[in-house]
Structure 1
Amino acid sequence: MTDTTAVGQTTGRNPAAPGAARTVASAVPAALVARLAQGVTATGEPELVHTTAPLTGERLATLPQSTPADVEVAYQLARRAQKAWAALPVRRRAGVLLRFHDLLLKRQDEVLDLIQAETGKARLHAFEEVLGAALAARHYGRKAPSYLRDRRRGGAMPVLTHAIEARRPKGVIGQISPWNYPLELSVGDALPAFVAGNAVVNKPDTQTALTALWARELLIEAGLPADLWQIVIGDGPVIGPAVVEHADYVSFTGSTRTGREVAQRAAARLVGASLELGGKNALLVLADADLDKAAEGAVRACFSSAGQLCISIERLYVHRSVAEEFLRRFAERTSALRLGGGLAYGADMGSLVSDRQLETVTRHVEEAVKAGATVLAGGQARPDLGPLFFEPTILDGVTPGMAVCGEETFGPVVSVYRFDTEDEAVEAANSTTYGLNSSVWTKDARRGRAIAARLHTGTVNVNEAYAAAYGSVAAPMGGMGDSGLGRRHGSDGILRYTEAQTIATQRMLPIAPSLGLDDEKFAALFTTSLKALKVLRFK
């Protein structure tokens, strides 16, 4: 692989994208922060917390912190609002989502600025959040009446038993959302909860709370009662347990370690939970793949949002017969990516979000190189662009003992491996406890789907990185194994926020001895009836 390595090294450090005239400070003025901060449930004279802009390191916002007592107040307000909201016809509730859809698309520049300022991601990747939230709003705005309608079910006695399955709201949903996709993973998950008749108490990550607060403000403008969505801010270990303690159902997106704790707390109270957790996602390049398309797809798969995406790719398996040529094209494209921190379209990748993320990425790369891995592209931090920039990085020669091989990096780093047979590739891709997303590249779509069926992940994209499956909002999305429980999107994504209730009405005859039948004759009659119903193929 001498030639490929040379490409990554001689192309040089990734070029910077053209800068934008607008600064983070001008895009997120103090007046806006003060207005949005009023949406935080925090009583008395709360302690204040400061956030910084990843792109520049400058102070971004000062926000009030909630206490566990504030969380309890938030639930009280939400419960009062939920009763009246649940009494509204579902089409009235759905109308709020459809109005939110239109407002979001109309005013997207406002939230794109906030997302970039709080996360450091490139504007195109911020737009993915707008796209995801709009897709969810439209889908549930249109489909919620169908998902939630009463459904006739087979009764205990044909004709005589009338059974209906109804859906009732859980009540108040406790939602803990992460920093990496602050719009999509806050409002996107809350929308189906709202249209199902619930209220939500949301704890966003403090670093990206402005985005969630902006979404709440826009939903209120669209017609959502203000008390229905409560937002609390604070350290996870301090107020996170309180969010779970009072919830009728918990929606959590974050690390596997914290997800286990959330699940244990919810289980102790006998309330349900859905958890989208970590991933060590794999991309497979088969021998017959279109190498240009696969290389372009791998760039998107590995480096969107600087790799800080639960469904991004961190392991890349390439058939040995095409490995050298594929990696040459992949490394060329990776080295040519433009890094930038402007609040405008143009950059291919932004920065990491925090010192913690930068430390993990740096450690994984440096340890791998020290242990014998080869850098095909990237490999360095870029403090000349901003405090948290790191080049998109391809590592070859990674072995099982290296941290980057098995641990989730959650940054712009991908490890390359070669395979000889498809069975070998499938086994390697499945050799992790995670199971969130995967990607298969081949010119034969049927072959790709056959490989996909063998991969132990909640979503598989054939000839796409992640957007095809995630954007198919009528289909479920979630993880297997250590990647979580439950699903967002589709019917699963809304029914998780409901309780199933069966209402059965018995007519004419009871399900008990009657009409002069004694117990023995009743049992004999029902035995004969059950046999007959099986012959008649009743379900």
Structure 2
Amino acid sequence: MSEQTSIPADPELDPTASYATDQSVIRRLAGLLRATAGSRTSYAPATAQPVAELPLSGPDDVIAAVRSARKTQRSWKNTSLQDRAAILLRYHDLVLDHRHELVDLVIVESGKARKQAFEEVAHVAMTARYYARKAEEFLGTQRKLGMFPILTRAEQRFVPKGVVGIISPWNYPLSMAMADGLPAVLAGNTVVHKPDSQTPLTALRAIELLYESGLPRDAWQPVNGDGPTVGGAIIQNTDYVCFTGSTKTGRLVAKQAGERLIGCSLELGGKNPMLVLRDADVHRAAEGAVRACFSSAGQLCVSMERLYVADQVYDAFVTAFLDRVKKIRLSAGTGWDVDMGSLISKAQLDTVSRHVENARARGAVVLAGGKARPDIGPLFYEPTVLSGVTPEMECFDNETFGPVVSIYRFSDEAEAIARANEGDYGLNASVWTRDGRRGRAVAAQLVAGSVNVNEGYAASFGSIDTPMGGMRSSGLGRRQGAEGIRRYVDPQTVATQRLLPIAASHGLKDEAYAELMTAALRILKKLGRP
């Protein structure tokens, strides 16, 4: 087993020596927060160097933010849909114009590689453009079939819920901070937003650009602090909650939202499977598996943690995969030549280390990686491939959320599908085959909210017109597509009756009216009316 490739960090590209730690920038971004409860210093995970001391919010700050957001929402919902969409189109351009500084912020706060940080910029821009262009289709008043042709006119309108609470995670500090809130404000809601306290600067700069695009300041208000205190206050005071994070915390969010009878959408954990079928292009699948398993150091809800490989291609795939894994370049630098960056925290490093050591101690074989790399940075861990993982091992069905994948051989495709469907999760899956039709047929049998054929996660994640979310314990609701914006509105029916009432009238007896209605219903069926 060869030593993992590493790239020395160029001192001039030290992520803590960039735009992100310019004190004038930090003071400006800190001024966006509604926060009166002390302060906290954040640290760059790749270097352990301090990044920013930012003020903290308390429950009273959240209550004040919701109060002003609710006041602003009364006028914001009356802003024309076209004007709201125009703000998102301006935002699309500003995000792309400021892509370098946004990527720098993502790198310094999350520790991820530059190429993966750029994915977040692209995703936010695509989301803004998509919803701006689709606004009228998704939110415009729709004519529906009335009870009787001509006599009954039925319409469906979409009423914004009010103030939306967003609790976004650290692993995609730009994309998950903004992609859920953009459709919320487009739909006429206002937002109170708690980005993760490990990665607040990225969200604050992205929100600042939204203000520059024309969004009223009180229409999107950031607060900063820990989940139980600040997140709990958001759930208790807003009209809808959007949360991305662990399944354990998601259950608590759902419980609290349910007690208030407000809606919530939850994107939670996953133990995502990838199936390499007997007719797969081995080298293409191996290359795709590297991205699928180790992008953002595996700290991606939709990344692959289980590989099921057909007998016919197992040896060739493993050879090709391991060759690529051992060439992954680790670094604390910020250049485009870095393939994988740091884990986010000591807690994540501890989980990864524990899962690998537990598997090793119980008989699993480490095919690649398998150790921390403090010589690169305090929270680096090698991309790791395990074989011989069995159910008694901790990493078998528990989400690792790090650069660790288990590989399994299969001989029967039906068995592989059944094994891929085992467990409580159902977020993402991947199928590799030379036959797209066959891949889609296998995809239809997998329990997952998204299935990518000949790709790991990017095809579904980047197809903004399709809904994204989890089945089973991987979540509730969907982001993206029509579902991603209509979760933030309540449908309202307006039905207008013309000429005749839907009741006995003009001297007609009730019994005769019932017979007339019966005849009318039979006629409507013969006419093919739904």
TM range (shorter): over 0.9
Among residues 526, 529, 532, which one is paired with 2:523 in the alignment? Answer: 532
Letter matched to residue 422 of structure 2: S
Q: CA deviation at 1:12?
A: 2.0
Instruction: Give the Cα separation in 2 of the matches to 1:159 and 1:484.
Output: 43
Report the equivalent of 2:89.
98
- Residue 132 in structure 1 maps to residue 111 in structure 2: no
Report the equivalent of 2:193.
202
Letter matched to residue 48 of structure 1: S
Residue pair 1:54, 1:119 contacting (<8 A) in 2 also: yes
- Residue 54 in structure 1 maps to residue 45 in structure 2: yes
Report the equivalent of 2:359.
368
Residue pair 2:465, 2:481 contacting (<8 A) in 1 also: yes
Instruction: Give the Cα separation in 1 of the matches to 2:11 and 2:96.
Output: 22
Cα offsets for 1:446-499 (capped at 9, x unmatched)? 110100000000000000010001100001111000000110000000011111
Instruction: Give the Cα separation in 2 of the matches to 1:69 and 1:221.
Output: 27
Instruction: Give the Cα separation in 2 of the matches to 1:24 and 1:287.
Output: 43
Q: CA deviation at 1:125?
A: 0.5
Q: What stretches of structure 1 of length at least 5 have no aligned partner?
A: 1-8
Instruction: Give the Cα separation in 1 of the matches to 2:498 and 2:8.
Output: 73
Cα offsets for 1:182-207 (capped at 9, x unmatched)? 11101111100011111001111101
Q: CA deviation at 1:132?
A: 0.7
Q: CA deviation at 1:519?
A: 1.1
- Residue 508 in structure 1 maps to residue 499 in structure 2: yes
Instruction: Give the Cα separation in 2 of the matches to 1:58 and 1:222.
Output: 33
- Residue 38 in structure 1 maps to residue 20 in structure 2: no
Letter matched to residue 23 of structure 2: A
Spell out structure 1 runs of 4+ moving beyond 4 A.
Answer: none
Q: What stretches of structure 2 of length at least 5 have no aligned partner?
A: none
Report the equivalent of 1:257.
248
Cα offsets for 1:43-89 (capped at 9, x unmatched)? 4xx31111110010011111111111110000011111111111111
Q: CA deviation at 1:22?
A: 2.8
Among residues 112, 121, 146, which one is paired with 1:155 in the alignment? Answer: 146
Report the equivalent of 2:386.
395
- Residue 269 in structure 1 maps to residue 260 in structure 2: yes
- Residue 281 in structure 1 maps to residue 240 in structure 2: no
> Which 10-residue stretch deviates more, 336-345 or 436-445?
336-345
Report the equivalent of 1:3.
none
- Residue 380 in structure 1 maps to residue 371 in structure 2: yes
Q: Percent identity?
A: 54
Report the equivalent of 1:25.
16
Residue pair 2:4, 2:329 contacting (<8 A) in 1 also: no
- Residue 190 in structure 1 maps to residue 184 in structure 2: no
Residue pair 2:177, 2:195 contacting (<8 A) in 1 also: yes
Among residues 110, 114, 131, which one is paired with 2:101 in the alignment? Answer: 110
Q: CA deviation at 1:32?
A: 1.2
Local SS of the residue matching 2:198: helix
Cα offsets for 1:239-296 (capped at 9, x unmatched)? 2111011111110100001101101111111111110000000000001100000000
Cα offsets for 1:351-371 (capped at 9, x unmatched)? 000000000000000110111
Report the equivalent of 2:321.
330
- Residue 180 in structure 1 maps to residue 201 in structure 2: no
Q: CA deviation at 1:181?
A: 0.3
Instruction: Give the Cα separation in 2 of the matches to 1:339 and 1:25.
Output: 17
Report the equivalent of 1:341.
332
Alpha carbons of 1:20 and 1:318: their partners in 2 closer, same or farther (altered >3 Å)? farther
Q: CA deviation at 1:16?
A: 2.4
Instruction: Give the Cα separation in 2 of the matches to 1:182 and 1:518.
Output: 67
Q: CA deviation at 1:223?
A: 0.5
Instruction: Give the Cα separation in 1 of the matches to 2:390 and 2:288.
Output: 24
Q: CA deviation at 1:20?
A: 5.7
Q: CA deviation at 1:24?
A: 2.7
Letter matched to residue 88 of structure 2: L
- Residue 293 in structure 1 maps to residue 295 in structure 2: no
Instruction: Give the Cα separation in 2 of the matches to 1:13 and 1:297.
Output: 19
Residue pair 1:379, 1:393 contacting (<8 A) in 2 also: yes
Residue pair 1:314, 1:415 contacting (<8 A) in 2 also: yes
Residue pair 2:8, 2:376 contacting (<8 A) in 1 also: no
Among residues 417, 425, 431, which one is paired with 1:434 in the alignment? Answer: 425
Q: Structure 1 length normalisation: TM-score?
A: 0.97
Residue pair 2:4, 2:328 contacting (<8 A) in 1 also: no
Instruction: Give the Cα separation in 1 of the matches to 2:497 and 2:134.
Output: 31
Report the equivalent of 2:235.
244
Local SS of the residue matching 1:158: coil
Instruction: Give the Cα separation in 2 of the matches to 1:22 and 1:397.
Output: 40
Letter matched to residue 55 of structure 2: P
Residue pair 1:286, 1:441 contacting (<8 A) in 2 also: yes
Among residues 413, 416, 419, which one is paired with 1:425 in the alignment? Answer: 416
Instruction: Give the Cα separation in 2 of the matches to 1:238 and 1:490.
Output: 32
Among residues 444, 458, 472, which one is paired with 1:467 in the alignment? Answer: 458
Report the equivalent of 2:442.
451
Local SS of the residue matching 1:273: strand
Report the equivalent of 1:6.
none
Instruction: Give the Cα separation in 2 of the matches to 1:62 and 1:236.
Output: 18
Report the equivalent of 1:350.
341
**Alignment length (residue pairs):** 528
Q: CA deviation at 1:17?
A: 5.7
Local SS of the residue matching 1:488: coil
Letter matched to residue 180 of structure 1: N
Letter matched to residue 352 of structure 2: V
Letter matched to residue 156 of structure 1: M
Instruction: Give the Cα separation in 2 of the matches to 1:408 and 1:150.
Output: 43
Instruction: Give the Cα separation in 1 of the matches to 2:402 and 2:22.
Output: 29
Instruction: Give the Cα separation in 2 of the matches to 1:13 and 1:457.
Output: 33
